[in-house]
Amino acid sequence: MSLEVRLQSRLGDFEISAEFAAGAGVTALFGQSGSGKTSILKMIAGLIRPLSGRIEAGGRMLFDSEGGTDLPPPQRRVGMVFQDARLFPHMSVSRNLTYGRWAGKRDSRADFGRITNLLGIEALLDRYPATLSGGEMQRVAIGRALLADPALLLMDEPLASLDQERKREILPYLEEVRDETGLPIVYVSHEVDEVARLADTLVLLSDGKVLGSGDAVDMFSKLEFGPALGRHEASSLLSGTVSHIDQQYGLCAVTLDGDQRLYIVSDRVAVGDRLRMRIKARDVALSLEAPSGVSVRNVLPATVRSFARDESPFVEIVLDISGQALRARITRHAFDALGIQPDLPVFAMIKSVAIGQRMLSGRK
């Protein structure tokens, strides 16, 4: 399944011009409030009509201004999940789940038992929304969207109304939906943690324009997008496999793609798990020599790929760690003292405690 979007629109004085393409998995529309994320999502759903452009999902043309195609929302086979669950309070969970396909008059091919098992809501079927937690309600809302037999799933900041505990509860289920359904999922968020954990493709938006789009790991490593991602949130996404768990010290060894080893603190992983880890640039220190007698458990040989220096007190650096990109932010004073230049071999130091559990995700 694939999604192709090219559209132009004007909402009052606000102009939107967006073009991007994505395949199965999660495409994150990321940007600050007012960047046009939700408006683009509503255009894909058919709730707002663009001035011009085209939207194609899974080989079906949903909108084409030149060809005269503009399918109404019920015919677009789009599942929509909003910030709030929008469940019917007078209906049981079971009836809420099947309402979408009944209202859309669809003979859904989605298996009811498989979806409820996937989302862990089998025990909730006879309950009513008033008795559910926020996380449970959102899981039911996602199930309702999936059971309506969508060709495309749209999520408009589905975790925004949840507290941190509820977010931790529901994120693994979102990963299961991403990995098991094969649907293109367009996910709107302004939370870097969510994007880093879930996204396969990242579309970076600002003032209604696409600054860039592509593989999420690559996008995070590009220095030119640092300001849009947020200076304090600039990060790298490293991938690897859990190879050993030290129960005595509570440390997990992750063998990175490229064979270097990274130690993290987590009680939620098992040997063999594939992980994507988010490491903030401000948590990476550099040394010209392999340090000894330090508390930092992660000392990784690296090579300087590139850097961006401006009038701020900091310099952004991209390192190569056995083929993966790692960002570091150091002061201009340290940059000059170390003599940083492209292809310089260095050692990157990362505290294990800096890779928090909110920054971990299982990847199949």
Question: What is the per-residue pLDDT across 48-88, written as a single tens digit (0 to 9) for each?
Answer: 999 999 999 888 999 999 999 999 998 898 999 998 889 99
Q: 106 falls in which pLDDT band (50, 70, 90)?
A: low
Pairwise CA distance, residues 255 & 289, whole Å: 22
pTM, to two decimals:
0.87
Domains 2-228 and 235-362 equal at CATH topology level: no
- DSSP-assigned letters across all residues of 291-309: --S-S--EEEEEEEEEEEE
The pLDDT, as a whole number, for residue 120 is 92
Pairwise CA distance, residues 338 & 336, whole Å: 5
The pLDDT, as a whole number, for residue 359 is 58
Pairwise CA distance, residues 144 & 126, whole Å: 15
Residue listed under structure tokens 């071999």: 345
Is residue 80 within 8 A of residue 43, CB to CB? The reply is: no
Percentage of the chain exceeding pLDDT 70: 93
Q: 241 falls in which pLDDT band (50, 70, 90)?
A: very high
Instruction: Give tens-digit pLDDT for 143-189.
Output: 999 988 888 999 999 999 888 888 888 888 898 899 888 888 999 99
- CATH code of 235-362, in short, is 2.40.50.100
Pairwise CA distance, residues 175 & 239, whole Å: 16
Pairwise CA distance, residues 307 & 260, whole Å: 23
Q: Which of 284, 316, 277 is nearest to 302 (CA)?
A: 284
Q: 41 falls in which pLDDT band (50, 70, 90)?
A: very high
Percentage of the chain exceeding pLDDT 90: 61
Mean pLDDT, the chain, integer? 89
Distances in Å between the alpha carbon of 224 and those of 108, 196, 210, 211? 44, 18, 13, 10
- CATH code of 2-228, in short, is 3.40.50.300
Q: 269 falls in which pLDDT band (50, 70, 90)?
A: confident
The pLDDT, as a whole number, for residue 341 is 97
The pLDDT, as a whole number, for residue 107 is 58
Instruction: Give tens-digit pLDDT for 147-159.
Output: 888 889 999 999 9
- The answer to whether residue 361 scores a pLDDT higher than 70 is no
Task: Provide the residue ranges of all domains of the chain, joining segments of one domain with +.
Answer: 2-228, 235-362
- The answer to whether residue 364 scores a pLDDT higher than 60 is no
* Main-chain phi, psi angles of 61, to 5 degrees: -85, 115
The pLDDT, as a whole number, for residue 183 is 87
Is residue 6 within 8 A of residue 21, CB to CB? The reply is: no
User: How many residues in the chain?
Assistant: 364
- The answer to whether residue 94 scores a pLDDT higher than 70 is yes
